[in-house]
Amino acid sequence: MKVGILAGGLGTRLAQETSVKPKPMVEIGGYPVLWHIMNIYANAGYKEFMVALGYKGFLIKDYFVNYRKRTQSLSIDLGNGDVDWHGKEELDWKIHLLETGLQTQTGARVRKLAEFAGKEAFMLTYGDGVCNLDVGKLVEFHKSHGKLATITAVRPPARFGNLSLDGPSVTAFKEKPQIGEGWINGGFFILEPGIVDYIDEGEDVIWEQKPLERLAADGQLHAYFHDGFWQCMDTLRDVRLLNQLWQDENPPWKVWT
């Protein structure tokens, strides 16, 4: 099963970073958040990726075309231009970098990914969120219900500390916990080829509106509930948080070794 990643948006809420790079290339611990997301899937054995490019997509192309140069030692003979690599390439991923348009909305990008995947089911996520999802269990759940689409439901992290009160007395305090109720779209979808019938033609179709609404109305959308860690990267506050967590001994989304 291929993994589709939406990586073409403008990332306007991260303008200080995204004025010079696409949002999926914003770094967490020295690596683009896109690299972190791909590792989550690769750890589960899913190593073929379809990346939907748009805004400054050439920088994503450049990163992966030159990945080996960035990460491995090498020797160069300037006399004849020969390059000798030291050691084996660390990654065995296959990556399709697909131009899907600068102004294209998410629905149209999903349609293009589905067309590239052909008659096969594929996974889909956004290029700006990480979690400690068990991808294998997600796949099992999708296969068990037989519907066209699975969406991963998550509990968003609270922005402020949570107080437990007994009158004016604070009986417990927890700094920025995952909220205790309410589920939201966490991305990490699995989609069957038939979802294209729910996406109208045109570049202005938004995946999170009519396509998902129609799938839900037809009973073709099931939710996989993920109670663990999940964090999107919408603001500079989020970037700082994820970098802080990466410096810890066990960052919560690092499911690979």
Question: What pLDDT band is residue 17 in, cutting at 50, 70 and 90?
Answer: confident
DSSP label of 7: E
At residue 166, does pLDDT exceed 80? Answer: no
User: What's the pLDDT at 201?
Assistant: 93
Neighbours of 47 (CB within 10 A): 16
**Given a cut of 80, is residue 179 above it in pLDDT?**
no
- Give the per-residue pLDDT at 87: 85
Q: Has residue 170 got a pLDDT over 80?
A: no
Contact (CB, 8 A) for 24 and 32: yes
pLDDT at residue 75, rounded to an integer:
96
Determine the pLDDT at residue 11.
85
What digits encode the pLDDT tens for the residues 188-228? 999 999 999 999 999 999 999 999 999 999 999 999 999 99
What are the domain boundaries of the chain? 2-71+88-247
Of 205, 189, 101, which Cα lies nearest the Cα of 148?
Answer: 189
Instruction: Report the share of the chain in percent with pLDDT over 70.
Output: 91
Q: What is the pLDDT of residue 206?
A: 96
Question: CA neighbours within 13 Å on the CB side: how many for 137?
Answer: 9
Residue entry with tokens 């030159």: 66
Q: In this predicted structure, what is the pLDDT of residue 12? A: 85
pLDDT higher than 70, residue 178: no
Quick one: average pLDDT of 134-138? 98
pTM for the whole structure? 0.91
For residue 164, the model assigns a pLDDT of 65
Tokens of 159: 């922005």
For 225-254, b where at least 16 C-beta lie within 10 A, e where not — what string? ebeebbbbbeeeebbebbeebbeeeebbbb
CATH architecture of 2-71+88-247: Alpha-Beta Complex (3.90)
What is the residue whose two structure tokens read 């994820």? 242
